[in-house]
C-alpha cells in the first residue's frame, strides 16, 4: 500500500469516529516530515482519544507500523505518526489556538471526497 492509500485509511478512520472539519494537506515539497498531514478535531477528551485510537488501529490492520503516537493521555493534541502520513487530532480549543492549516497555508488541500467515494 502506498502513501495515498494510507492517507485514505487515516482519513476514513477519523471520519468514522465523527472527527470534525477533517482536512488533508499535501506536504510534498513543503515539509520533510511527511507527504501528507491530516488535521481534525474532536469536542471532548474521549472523542479525541477515540479518533486517534481508530486511526492507529485501522493503520495497523492494514499492515502499517505506527512510528509513534504522542499526546494521547492528555487528549489535547494527539499526533499519530504513520510515516508518510501524520495525523493531528486536536481538541477544538487547541486547533483554534495552533491553526496548523494557516501555518502550512502553502500546502494544497487534497480532495478526499473523490478518493473515498471514487
pLDDT (tens digit per residue) in 79-111: 999 999 999 999 999 999 999 999 998 999 999
Q: How far apart are CA 2 and CA 49, in angstroms?
A: 26
Name which residue leads in pLDDT, 29 or 51.
51
Task: List helix spans (H) across the chain.
Answer: 3-16, 45-61, 92-98, 100-103, 112-117
Q: What is the CATH number of domain 3-84?
A: 3.30.460.10
Domain ranges for the chain: 3-84
- At residue 2, the pLDDT reads 87
Q: What is the pLDDT of residues 4-26, one digit of tens each?
A: 999 999 999 999 999 999 999 99
User: Which pLDDT belongs to residue 118?
Assistant: 60
The pLDDT, as a whole number, for residue 114 is 76
State the Cα angle at 39 between 23 and 42, rounded to 5°.
105
Amino acid at each position: 500500500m502506498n502513501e495515498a492509500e494510507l492517507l485514505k485509511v487515516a482519513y476514513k478512520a477519523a471520519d468514522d469516529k465523527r472527527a470534525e472539519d477533517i482536512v488533508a494537506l499535501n506536504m510534498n515539497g513543503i515539509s520533510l516530515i511527511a507527504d501528507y498531514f491530516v488535521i481534525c478535531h474532536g469536542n471532548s477528551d474521549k472523542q479525541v482519544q477515540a479518533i486517534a485510537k481508530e486511526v492507529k488501529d485501522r493503520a495497523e490492520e492494514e499492515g502499517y507500523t505506527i512510528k509513534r503516537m504522542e499526546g494521547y493521555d492528555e487528549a489535547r493534541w494527539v499526533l499519530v505518526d504513520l510515516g508518510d502520513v501524520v495525523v493531528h487530532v486536536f481538541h477544538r480549543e487547541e486547533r483554534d489556538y495552533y491553526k496548523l492549516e494557516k501555518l502550512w497555508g502553502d500546502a494544497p488541500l487534497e480532495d478526499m471526497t473523490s478518493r473515498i467515494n471514487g
